[in-house]
Amino acid sequence: MSADLTDRVSALPFFAGLAPRLLRQLCAEGRLVRYPAGKRLFGEGGDADRFWLIEDGSVALDLRVPGRGDQVIETLGAGTVVGWSWLHPPYRWSFGAATRSPVQAVVFAAAAVRGRCDTDPAFGYAMLRLFTPVITERLQATRLRLLDLYATPAPAGRS
């Protein structure tokens, strides 16, 4: 871990509120990575052994649909985290993910972070508090999209 990495991670709002001790623990399991556009980060059903904090660029979550290839479900940009399936058994990705543009990110070793969550409840609680909103926000976004708000309205009687 370098002080540089800790500075970078705390510069983005996602982990910025983390106490310095916890931030250092987290960053001990992270490293800076750069990917070209089109690099697959993980595939649906694979081991959820990592997660990423995107510093720059964009990542697409996708799902393989028979006959239609990889369908993009959502794109995630700078400042967001990619991956929370590592938090809960069976630790497998529900979707795939690939970079859409050159990406600079911090990748964290999920099993090691999970180990720290188990041994240090303060650290574990902080992680849950950070990741739970990610899960609820993505659920909210999915529900909104299910409503298909911009679709042509179905014919209905008007008073």
Ligand X SMILES: Cc1cc2nc3c(=O)[nH]c(=O)nc-3n(C[C@H](O)[C@H](O)[C@H](O)COP(=O)(O)OP(=O)(O)OC[C@H]3O[C@@H](n4cnc5c(N)ncnc54)[C@H](O)[C@@H]3O)c2cc1C
**Contact positions toward ligand X, by CB under 6 A?**
153-156, 158
Closest separation in Å from C-beta 152 to ligand X: 8
Residue closer to ligand X, measured from CB, 3 or 156: 156
Residue closer to ligand X, measured from CB, 119 or 159: 159
Residue closer to another protein, measured from CB, 29 or 96: 96
CA–CA separation, 105 vs 50, rounded Å? 12
Q: Are 68 and 17 in contact (CB under 8 A)?
A: no
Residue closer to another protein, measured from CB, 6 or 80: 80
Residue closer to another protein, measured from CB, 20 or 67: 67
The entry of another protein, ligand X, none near residue 145 (CB within 5 to 8 angstroms by kind) is another protein
Closest separation in Å from C-beta 66 to another protein: 16
Burial of residue 73 (number of CB atoms within 10 Å: 0-12, 13-18, 19+): middle
The entry of ligand X, another protein, none near residue 60 (CB within 5 to 8 angstroms by kind) is another protein
DSSP3 helix / strand / coil % (the chain, rounded to 5): 40, 30, 35
Across-strand partners of 106?
32, 53
- Describe the strand order of the beta sheet including 30-35 as a list of residue ranges: 30-35, 103-109, 50-56, 81-82
Residues engaged in binding another protein (CB under 8 A): 13, 58, 60, 71-75, 77-79, 100, 140-141, 143-145, 147-153, 155, 158-159
CA–CA separation, 84 vs 93, rounded Å? 8
The entry of ligand X, another protein, none near residue 2 (CB within 5 to 8 angstroms by kind) is none
CB atoms within 10 A of CB 47: 15
